[in-house]
């Protein structure tokens, strides 16, 4: 999976600092399956030692740890190297989130979470660290970045160089932001893009842009691309995460909904 590879095609290393064995095992298996190289530490001291010896590409850091607390581990890691840290916790009060972000955490996720959501966050954070140009983030399997000029996904055809889009053969006129939004969702098609990532990439952190602005652009794209904008089959919402473009036009997938108890095979409860 290209997103788990660095620019020179080496698997990205994720250091997981987690005291609960069930989480360590689930994350180790789940992230390895996504193509990441996973290193495990069961407390803060071990995590700091591994980190100092060989800084990873990203750290997944539990807040509630025995010994050195996660917040302190985060502070010390950030002082050692500019590696993004995603903090994980059962705490979800705003105070804890603000504290984590003040300590330099790149993102914050609360337990229990779905592996799909976690990997989407990881990808978003890694992309933020070294963002590829819009429309051109596809990497081939041989270490040569391939720059597809044209991508066809379902009825939609996008020409990145000419900035032209057709749907079922007819030309679609898009604003600059609408084009960039569609370009991100088609790079490659099927990739889940989180709301934060889309807002970051499209409005580069401008205060004006919020989730409602994004929704407005999504709605406009749906009007221009979908047969029934009220029942989108291609520009699909991934609840609680963001959006993806489904080239097969299957619409929203039930297993992508958060909160379906019987489909949370990757979610583990904090005990």
Q: How many CA within 13 A on the CB side of residue 62?
A: 27
Ramachandran angles phi, psi of 124, nearest 5°? -65, -45
Query: Do the Cβ atoms of 259 and 253 come closer than 8 Å?
Result: no
Q: What minimum distance in Å lies between the beta carbon of 33 and Ca ion?
A: 23
Size of the residue set binding Ca ion (CB under 5 A) = 3
Site stretch for Ca ion (CB under 5 A), options 60-68, 96-104, 143-151, 258-266: 60-68
Binding flag, residue 62, Ca ion (CB under 5 A): yes
Task: Decide if residue 19 touches Ca ion (CB under 5 A).
Answer: yes
Q: Pick the closer one to Ca ion by CB: 64 or 134.
A: 64
Q: What is the rounded distance in angstroms from the CA atom of residue 195 to the CA atom of residue 203?
A: 12
N-terminal to C-terminal alpha carbon distance within the chain: 32
Cα–Cα dist 182/25, whole Å: 36
Q: Does the protein bind Ca ion through residue 109 (CB under 5 A)?
A: no
Rounded distance between C-alpha atoms, residue 136 and residue 128, angstroms: 15
Q: Choose one: 5-13, 55-63, 127-135, 227-235; the region binding Ca ion (CB under 5 A).
A: 55-63
According to CB under 5 A, which one of 32, 64, 138, 209 is a site residue for Ca ion? 64
Region from 14-22, 45-53, 151-159, 247-255 binding Ca ion, contact rule CB under 5 A: 14-22
**Contact range with Ca ion by CB under 5 A, out of 15-23, 34-42, 134-142, 151-159:** 15-23
CA distances from 119 to 129, 208, 251, 266 (A): 15, 27, 21, 12
Nearer to Ca ion, 19 or 46 (CB): 19
d(CA 75, CA 193): 28
200 vs 270, beta carbon nearer Ca ion: 270
**Minimum CB distance to Ca ion, residue 20 (Å):** 5
Give least dist CB 241 to Ca ion, A. Answer: 24
Give the CA distances from residue 189 to residues 1, 137, 221, 243, 250, in Å, rounded to whole numbers and listed in that order. 14, 11, 15, 11, 13
Nearer to Ca ion, 19 or 96 (CB): 19
Query: Rule CB under 5 A: is residue 267 a binding residue for Ca ion?
Result: no
Beta bridge partners of 41: 17
State the nearest-atom distance from the C-beta of 42 to Ca ion, in Å: 10
Residues contributing to the site for Ca ion (CB under 5 A): 19, 62, 64
């Amino acid at each position: 999976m290209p997103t788990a590879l660095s620019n020179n095609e080496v698997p990205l290393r994720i250091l997981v600092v987690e005291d609960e064995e069930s989480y360590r095992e689930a994350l180790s298996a789940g992230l390895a399956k996504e193509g990441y190289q996973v290193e495990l530490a069961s407390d803060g001291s071990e995590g700091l030692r591994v980190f100092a010896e060989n800084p990873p590409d990203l750290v997944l850091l539990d807040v509630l740890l025995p010994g050195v607390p996660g917040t302190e581990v985060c502070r010390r890691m950030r002082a050692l190297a500019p590696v993004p840290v995603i903090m994980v916790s059962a705490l979800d009060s705003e105070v804890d989130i603000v504290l984590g972000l003040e300590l330099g955490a790149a993102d914050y996720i609360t337990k229990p979470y779905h592996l799909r959501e976690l990997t989407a966050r990881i990808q978003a954070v890694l992309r933020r660290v070294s963002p590829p140009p819009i429309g051109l983030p596809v990497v081939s399997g041989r270490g040569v970045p391939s720059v597809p000029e044209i991508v066809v996904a379902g009825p939609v055809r996008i020409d990145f160089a000419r900035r032209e889009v057709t749907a079922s053969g007819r030309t679609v006129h898009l604003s600059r932001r609408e084009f960039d939004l569609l370009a991100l969702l088609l790079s490659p098609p099927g990739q889940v893009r989180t709301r934060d990532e889309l807002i970051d990439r499209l409005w580069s952190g401008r205060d004006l842009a919020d989730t409602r602005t994004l929704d407005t652009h999504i709605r406009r794209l749906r009007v221009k691309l979908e047969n029934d904008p009220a029942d989108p089959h291609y520009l699909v919402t991934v609840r609680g995460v963001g959006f993806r473009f489904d080239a097969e036009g299957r619409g929203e997938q039930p297993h992508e909904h958060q909160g379906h108890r019987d489909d949370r095979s990757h979610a583990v409860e904090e005990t």
